[in-house]
Amino acid sequence: MWRSAFTVILLLCVGIKGHLFGCSCRGWARACEKLGHDAVFAGRVIETLPARHTADKPGSYYPGYSMRIAVDEAFRGSLGTEVIIETGSGGGDCGTPLEPGDKYLIFAYRNDKGELWTGLCSGNQRLTGNPDAEKILQLFRTLTKTDAGTIFGFVWQSKVGWRDDDVGDNSPPQPMKKLLIHAVSDGYTTFTQTTEKGTFEFQGLPPGKYKINPELPGGLDFDHEYPEHYQAEVSGGACAEISFHLQPVTRIRGRLILPPDAPDRTIEVVALPVQLKKINQFSGKYAFTDENGRFELWPLPPGDYYLGVNINNSPKEDTPFPPTYYPGVISQKAAHIIHLDEGQIKEVELPLPELAVPRTVHFVAIGLDGKPMKHIYIQREDLRHLGDAASYVNVDLDENGAGSMIVYAGFAYHLHGSEFRGNRDWCAKPVVISPGTESISVRFVMNRTSDNCNLVEVDRATK
């Protein structure tokens, strides 16, 4: 669609247990999108110094850099002659330490503390003084000469189907032609139609924050979970892309009815196709309840479904319920199957009659060095779903390496203990927890190192 040399941002940093696996960047459709940053300027890097950046957890930090940059030409933001820009250490954390002495076109955002930050995906460009670099600067000079903004996008539709245990598109995307699109701000309203290719564009928009709304044809809808995805503030030559993916309205929605002592929090509800045999924590279509206990599962392919809470998962502290199927039973054989035709919306109520009974596991953890451990990470493998650790806990231990955790009565588990040491994991032989109700005492003994303490097969775990 809209592609140019301005390829970059939206960083996706993925980590588990504090291990950072890397980041990837998506492309900007147009250069004017970058004017959505809080600061856009050309400048020369004076110095790049190691820094310790404060993390969310009090008293913790992570490594990175602070860069002092002389501002040559500002396109966005109130900047002085010099500015400090923060970044990560580079690589997996998406940081981008810039070389002192070099000149760059820099795009930065301001965090809650008022600090300016940039990253590997921000689209910073080294300016070498060649004609191409001057063209880039001239482009931003031209863009910022106007107060008006632009919003553009694409509207397409597709149908959905099951791909193994998840919902995905099962038809090629089709552009929505001649669909009416509205742009509304506090002081200005306009509309346009999509082209034969499903594209639309609002040019010359007065400065303001706009909501973009398509006039939906019958039987189709788009994801309303994040309204901010369909809003943009544009001015001073800036532009924004807002696109809509339409799918059939087919869905299950309703309300959970909780016992009086249930935790006051959102709860995951899942729909599983009845033909699905191998189930894990990621199987099915899920949604979380709102503050009124309501949920909506969309989009769903036509078919037959089990609906429930923890029917693909295990009880844990934030959802301490036994596996409960619609209409409020704990046996799959007693569950009511919900049938959906395409375009059909089913409304249901699902009572959760009781809480799962907690069971305390007391333990001692011994490291590879033979000493009591100070911390341990434990994955709880519910043996109804072999190989799937749907929940975990991090436990701080006392001077004897002792601690405790909760499992739930009536379920059998393997508990997989580990601790990250340097660039390797210490791994323990899995601890077997048989079904029961009483408290139990066990030991975790670290017996090997690994890049990652993966779950092992049940027949090997007990040896």
**Does the pLDDT of residue 440 top 90, yes or no?**
yes
Q: Is the pLDDT of residue 2 over 70?
A: no
For 225, other C-beta atoms within 10 Å of its C-beta total 9
264 pLDDT tier (thresholds 50, 70, 90): confident
- Could you tell me which residues are beta bridge partners of residue 388? none
CATH number assigned to the domain covering 251-351? 2.60.40.1120
Distances (CA, A) of 63 to 12, 14, 91, 95: 19, 17, 12, 10
Confidence of residue 47 (pLDDT cuts 50, 70, 90): very high
SS3 130: coil
pTM, 2 dp? 0.80
H or E stretch at 139: helix 131-143
Burial of 75 (0-12, 13-18, 19+ CB in 10 A): buried
| Distance (Å, whole) CA 71 – CA 140 | 15
Instruction: Answer whether residue 182 shows pLDDT above 50.
Output: yes
Q: Using 50, 70 and 90 to split pLDDT, how confident is the model at 21?
A: very low
Of residues 120 and 85, the one with the higher pLDDT is 85
Q: Which residues lie closer than 8 Å to 257 by C-beta, 6 or more apart?
A: 293, 349, 350, 351, 352
CATH code for residues 358-461: 2.60.40.1120
The pLDDT value recorded for residue 392 is 87
Confidence (pLDDT) at 395 = 96
Mean pLDDT, residues 255-274 taken together? 94
Among 123, 188, 197, CA closest to 153: 197
Quote the CA–CA distance of 94 and 26 in Å, as a whole number. Answer: 13
Report pLDDT for 422: 74
pLDDT score, position 6: 33
Name the CATH topology of 15-143. Answer: OB fold (Dihydrolipoamide Acetyltransferase, E2P) (2.40.50)
Mean pLDDT of the chain: 90
CATH architecture of 149-248: Sandwich (2.60)
Measuring CA to CA, which residue among 244, 252, 246, 242 is closest to residue 221?
Answer: 246
- What does the pLDDT read at residue 388? 76
Three-class secondary structure of residue 217 per DSSP: coil
Position 175 scores a pLDDT of 98
The first and second tokens of residue 14, run together, are: 């993925």
Domain ranges in the chain? 15-143, 149-248, 251-351, 358-461
Handedness of CA 33, 38, 40, 44 (dihedral sign): negative
Q: Which of 197, 162, 200 is nearest to 180 (CA)?
A: 200
Would you mind telling me the total number of residues written for the chain in this entry?
463
Per-residue pLDDT tens for 368-400? Answer: 999 999 999 999 998 888 877 767 899 999 999
Q: Which two tokens stand for residue 95?
A: 């940081």
Same fold, 149-248 and 358-461: yes
Q: What is the Cα–Cα distance from 65 to 84, expressed in whole angstroms?
A: 10
Residue 460 reports pLDDT greater than 70: no
Question: Tell me, what's the pLDDT at 463?
Answer: 42
**Residue 306 confidence (pLDDT) above 50:** yes
Residues 6+ apart with CB under 8 A from 362: 402, 403, 404, 439, 440, 441, 442
pLDDT band at 57 (very low <50, low <70, confident <90, very high): low
Which candidate, 282, 283, 281, places its Cα nearest to that of 305? 283
pLDDT, tens digit, 9 for 90 and up, residues 93-146: 789 999 999 999 999 999 999 999 999 889 999 999 899 999 999 999 999 999
